[in-house]
Amino acid sequence: MSSKITADSVLDGDLTSNIKYSLEKTVNTQAAGEYPIEFRVMDSGGNTVYLKTQISISDKSYAGIDVKLKDYLIYLSVGDAFDPNAYFNSADKEGELAVQSNVNTAKAGS
């Protein structure tokens, strides 16, 4: 599950083997649903970084849409303008794609 998550620190270098995770509930791979997960890693200076995301289990009968993004992780400063459509690259099906975002750049961490 976490084989694609890596962590590096200027202080310690590669911290990938130190990454921990926690789940709010057990992932049932037999049922479609969303499962919140939090990854965290700490360097030797006590600096901890958290990544909250979701594990999505899809119904096998739904083919879905393969969406490609220009960037999968975006860093913004407080007050920066943010247009989620600017990070959308392509999809493998014709039609409309609605982008929703609750990013609030007026407040750090939101």
Q: Which of the following CATH numbers is that of domain 1-62: 2.60.40.10, 3.30.365.10, 3.90.1300.10, 2.40.128.20?
A: 2.60.40.10
Domain ranges across the chain: 1-62, 64-110
* Residue 67: predicted pLDDT: 76
**pLDDT for 15 beyond 90:** yes
Segment 22-36, tens digit of pLDDT = 998 899 988 889 999
**Which has more pLDDT, 75 or 20?**
20
Least confident of 7-11, 20-24, 45-49, 82-86: 82-86
**CA 15, 67, 58, 75 torsion: positive or negative?**
positive
CA distance 41 to 4: 14
